[in-house]
Amino acid sequence: MANSSSTDVKVLGAWPSPFVIRVRIALNIKSVKYEFLEETLGSKSQLLLQSNPVYKKIPVLIHGGKSISESLIIVQYIDEVWNSGPSILHSDPYDRAIERFWAAYVDDKLFPSMKLINTAQGEEKAAIVEQAIEGLVLLEEAFQKSSKGKAFFGGDRIGFLDIAFGSMLGWLRAIEKMGGVKLLDEAKTPGLVQWAECFCADGAVKGIIPDTEKLVEFAKILVKMKGAPLGKN
Amino acid sequence: MAEVKLFRTWSSPFALRIVWALEVKGIEYEMIYEDLSNKSSMLLQYNPVYKKVPVLLHKGKPISESLVILEYIEETWKSKTPSLLPEDPYQRAMARFWAKFGDDKILPLIWEAFIKQGKDQEEALVAVQENLKYLEVELRGKKFLGGDAVRFADLAFGCLANLVSVFEEVTGVTLIDREKFPLLLTWMQNFMDAPKIRDTWPPRDKLITKFRALRETLIVKEPK
């Protein structure tokens, strides 16, 4: 699987989606060239409906005509197919279990609570922010354990959990800005503050995470369209 | 001192997935039953984030979240056949996709149908049936989701085999139409009777009592 023409690999996605960002980072790590097919906001292409009939959502990876959906499943697929490139998941089963656990936590708990910050107000908002920060503190602890003093959850290089969580950084910053809140800070999550900088500067990530301003503008468009700042993608 | 311990409850379908995986692969383990109304200090120590079962303890190291545990079992006991996941990366991705689909769509929708009534319940049931269609298609030409034998995706959906009839008895409503889902119903029977699986089911009468009581406390009244 070392050689694939760029038409062999397609990613159906959209620039603001953190889930799509995961797939693009993974392909970059493996130096895989791909065609990025951008979906239009508010409509779903025929190709999307055909290749992901169950969820009709992005991202979808199309490789050699076969479609794979669900971002974390796609990232694992990429790791397994392009296995001559740098590894994305750890090699030890227990370390893999830990990174899968926290990646699922980001999707099941952290990101949903972050999204709620936008629509909440007053006391409810304060409670949700506190909940999100508690979650980030848990990830800070996980970071300290996993990184073992290195820059990333994956060690010297970006790994599965770096991708799963790092892909959210654009929206995390946008939510901080829109909500007038601080989620990552030096006091409670110093490791993650440093990690975020390293992650965004990494060669495989550079240019993929949208500017905070762009996402804030996009969120405004979403509010107009759906009445909620962050719909499900 | 057993090398492998599984924290479970008598009824948790998620913990049952792990029982099945360990039994199918012939891995020796010790079962520790939890009472979730009175959680042990061990459970709280080993799963501080969710405080739930199942938790697998292997050589003193805990792993939580059933699908994460299944992957761990598969990767750790590589030499123990059968493999729960295929070799081919695309087939692996599909197995993982279906398992996640169960957890993200099917099971939550069934739960909604369980705790609702009247029109709300009807709507939830329609959604369940819409999504079960994908499974029905996936089962074409196969005895199990994994092919000839029970594999990863079968373990993920296995709880349907015993819980659908419990649901139907407690609610008095049909969850899976016999005419619309013949393959799914055959699969449920095959899974129910599969070797290593057939002796693991929790007692049905106890499940009926439990879910009946649960429904009573949780039932969401239709808005007037």
Contacts of residue B92 in chain A, CB cutoff 8 Å? 76-77, 80
- The residue out of A34, A51, A82 marking a domain boundary is A82
The stretch A19-48 carries a mean pLDDT of 96
Tell whether A55 and A123 lie within a shared domain. Answer: no
Q: What is the CA radius of gyration of chain A?
A: 17
If you average pLDDT over every residue of chain A, what do you get? 94
Query: For B50-79, how does the pLDDT look when each residue is reduced to its tens digit (9 = 90+)?
Result: 999 999 999 999 999 999 999 999 999 999
In the predicted model, what is the mean pLDDT of residues A198-224? 95
- Rounded to whole angstroms, the Cα distance separating A185 from A110 reads 16
The rounded distance, in Å, linking the Cα atoms of A65 and A71 is: 18
Kindly state whether residues A125 and A61 are assigned to the same domain. no
Is residue A210 located within the same domain as residue A102? yes
Give residue-wise pLDDT tens across range A54-63: 999 999 999 9
State which of A47, A63, A82 marks the end of a domain. A82
Which band of pLDDT confidence, cut at 50, 70 and 90, is reported for residue A228?
low
Whether residues A72 and A103 share a domain: the answer is no
Q: Tell me how far apart the alpha carbons of residues B121 and B104 are, in angstroms, rounded to a whole number.
A: 19
Helices and strands in chain A: count of H runs, count of E runs: 10, 4
Cβ contacts (< 8 Å) between A54 and chain B: which residues?
101, 105, 134
Q: Give residue ranges of A with CB < 8 Å to any B CB.
A: 54, 63, 66, 68-70, 73-74, 76-77, 80-81, 93-94, 96-97, 100-101, 104-105, 138
Give the Cα separation of B45 and B1 in Å (integer). Answer: 19
Percent helix / strand / coil, chain B, rounded to 5: 55, 10, 35
Q: Which of A81, A97, A138 lies nearest to residue B49, judging by beta carbons?
A: A138
User: Average pLDDT in the A25-38 region?
Assistant: 97
Report, as an integer, the average pLDDT of A111-115: 93
Over residues A91-107, mean pLDDT: 98
Cβ contact B49–A80 (<8 Å): no
Check CB contact under 8 Å for B93 and A105: no
Q: How many CB pairs under 8 A join A and B?
A: 56
Q: Report whether pLDDT(A2) > 60.
A: no
**Best residue in B57, B72, B88 to probe A by mutation, most A CBs within 10 Å?**
B72
**Residue A34: pLDDT over 90:** yes
The count of domains in chain A is 2
Please report, for chain B, how many H helices and E strands are present, in that order.
Answer: 10, 4
pLDDT tops 50 at residue A219: yes
Evaluate whether B128 touches B173 at the Cβ level (below 8 Å). Answer: no
Position A227 scores a pLDDT of 63
Reported as a pLDDT band with limits 50, 70 and 90, residue A231 is: very low
Q: Which domain holds residue A22?
A: 9-82
Q: What pLDDT was estimated at residue B103?
A: 97
- The secondary structure of residue A80, as a DSSP letter, is H
DSSP annotation of B196 reads T
- Residue (of A34, A31, A88) closest to A60 by Cα position: A34
pLDDT, residue B220, reads 75
CB A12 within 8 A of CB A51: yes
pLDDT of residue A118: 87
Does residue A229 belong to any structural domain of this protein?
no
* Nearest Cα residue to B50 out of B32, B69, B74, B31: B69
Give yes or no for residue A233 having a pLDDT over 90: no
Domain co-membership, A162 together with A74 = no
B88: left (phi over 0), alpha (psi -120 to 50) or beta: beta
Q: What is the pLDDT at residue A232?
A: 44
Q: State the fold for domain B89-221.
A: Glutathione S-transferase Yfyf (Class Pi); Chain A, domain 2 (1.20.1050)
Residues of chain A with pLDDT > 70, as a percent, come to 94
In a domain, A227, yes or no: no
Claim to verify: residue A41 and residue A124 sit in the same structural domain: no
* Interchain contact, A97 vs B72, CB within 8 Å: yes
Angle between helices A122-147 and A111-119 (to 10 degrees): 160
A96, B61: Cβ pair inside 8 Å? Answer: no
User: Hey, what CATH topology would domain B4-76 get?
Assistant: Glutaredoxin (3.40.30)
Asked if A67 and A163 sit in the same domain, the reply is: no
The tens-digit pLDDT sequence of chain B (224 residues) is 579 999 999 999 999 999 999 999 999 999 999 999 999 999 999 999 999 999 999 999 999 999 999 999 999 999 999 999 999 999 999 999 999 999 999 999 999 999 999 999 999 999 999 999 999 999 999 999 999 999 999 999 999 999 999 999 999 999 999 999 999 999 999 999 999 999 999 999 999 999 999 999 998 766 65
Nearest chain A residue to B58 by CA: give it: A94
Asked if B68's CB is within 8 angstroms of A54's CB, the reply is no
Chain B 121-140, residues with CB within 8 Å of chain A CB atoms: 134
For chain B, the domains span 4-76, 89-221
Asked if A105 and B49 come within 8 Å (Cβ–Cβ), the reply is yes
Domain membership of residue A203 (yes or no) is yes
